[in-house]
Amino acid sequence: MTGQLISSSLGKQILGRLQSRQGDIETFIRALVEIESPSGDESGSAAVVELLATTARGVSSVDSVEAVKVPGFGQHLVIKAFQQAEAGQVLIVGHTDTVHSLGSLAERPWRREAGRIYGPGIFDMKANCALAIEILRTLSELNLKPRFGVTVVLTCDEEVGSASGWPLIERFAKETQARCAFVMEPPALGGRVKTGRKGTGIYTIKVEGKAAHAGLEPEKGASAILELARQTERLHALNLSGSGITLNVGVVHGGTRSNVVAAQAEGEIDVRFSTEAESEEIHRILSSVQPVDERTKVFVSGGINRPPMERTPAVVELFEKARSVASYLDFELGEAQVGGASDGNFIAALGVPVLDGLGISGDGAHAVHEHIEADDIARRGALIAGLLLSV
Ligand SMILES: [Zn+2]
């Protein structure tokens, strides 16, 4: 990350250019929102990708546009721009699928009110898909060329775990020798970018007890439910330790009838952690759980499914750069470390510095009041364009 920061006047020039296109960009965002594309909707995904691809092809700095079909599911989209001899590229990552099922648009149509624009999936993250292309357009039209090539990867299955999207992102991160990655997920409250995300793990705890008649001879039984309750209390106590570890037994099942001492019970555990060391610590704890009532047996299975996105020195350097660009654009950029994971976690695990939550400010991701702030569109666009010129 040795590039020179852009000048303040250049930052303002980019901002002005984006602001002059506000109406066109809103029209583009609206068209994307009005094509519903819940994860797994093959035709919705194809239509969204078609619109994005057609628009991207109209940008002079775009070298290639490729739709990657996921049969029975949808399409990923890969846009390459500013390709050049120098090795290493900047990855811009986003997704075109939404959590909103078909018909959401009829219930909650596009609506612009008091500087906010509402629509299903607009904040997470159709507006940001449009913005990624508008950033490339703005740079091209101003004859500005980033030092590194730009690869935009928009996947169609992020909201359901990135089963095929993740290998694609990983491939491009490696193939392009990614210098850094910008993840276009919605920002934290107040427009703060995300410089750390917790890793996640999913575990199951199973308890085998001993059945007995609850009224006649309860002493002959060993309750699996009681044991699970005790284990749950112990595990939840880990939340109090002041570390970055959070643990939640979120689902429990057990027993057969109220008059039988339960012979079996099980719980599903969600764990989160801020560092690799904490993930090893939590795995060690869960692998060595001992029964409180020795007549029962306790088994824990599962593991880590997303590594943490750690706030490394390289991430801090990237954030400081973003903060400087933001100050040239007359706003203060904050940062946040959050519990939720994204594709940024996987990219960070490859050793690539990630700035996440670079999307347009708003609120209500996955909810009925989902919206963006209209006047943040150009500002975010200028921030990211300025960053592309500064890395
Ligand atoms: Zn998202």
Residue 236 CA to ligand 1 center (angstroms) comes to: 29
Residue 47 CA to ligand 1 center (angstroms) comes to: 19
Computed on alpha carbons and rounded to an integer, the radius of gyration of the chain in Å comes to 24
Residue 341 CA to ligand 1 center (angstroms) comes to: 10
Residue 124 CA to ligand 1 center (angstroms) comes to: 5
Residue 340 CA to ligand 1 center (angstroms) comes to: 11
Residue 95 CA to ligand 1 center (angstroms) comes to: 7
Q: What is the mean pLDDT of the chain?
A: 95
Q: Characterize 112-139 residue by residue with b for buried, 16 or more Cβ atoms within 10 angstroms of its Cβ, and e for exposed.
A: eeeebbbbbbbbbbbbbbbbbbbbbbbb
How many CB atoms sit inside 10 A of residue 69's CB? 14
Cross-strand partners of 152: 79, 92
DSSP H or E run through 208 = strand 199-208
Residue 115 CA to ligand 1 center (angstroms) comes to: 22
How many CB atoms sit inside 10 A of residue 24's CB? 11
How many CB atoms sit inside 10 A of residue 260's CB? 16
Question: Using CA atoms, how far apart are residues 113 and 71, in angstroms rounded to an integer?
Answer: 39
Residue 94 CA to ligand 1 center (angstroms) comes to: 7
pLDDT of amino acid 304? 87
Are 197 and 342 in contact by the 8 Å Cβ rule? The answer is yes
In terms of Cα–Cα distance, which of 124, 19, 1, 3 is closest to 381?
A: 19
CA atoms within 13 A on the CB side of 344: 33
Residue 122 CA to ligand 1 center (angstroms) comes to: 10
Are 325 and 6 in contact by the 8 Å Cβ rule? The answer is yes
How many CB atoms sit inside 10 A of residue 216's CB? 9
Residue 137 CA to ligand 1 center (angstroms) comes to: 23
Question: Using CA atoms, how far apart are residues 386 and 155, in angstroms rounded to an integer?
Answer: 24
pLDDT of amino acid 2? 62
Residue 288 CA to ligand 1 center (angstroms) comes to: 35
Positions in the chain whose pLDDT score sits under 70: 1-2, 241
Residue 332 CA to ligand 1 center (angstroms) comes to: 23
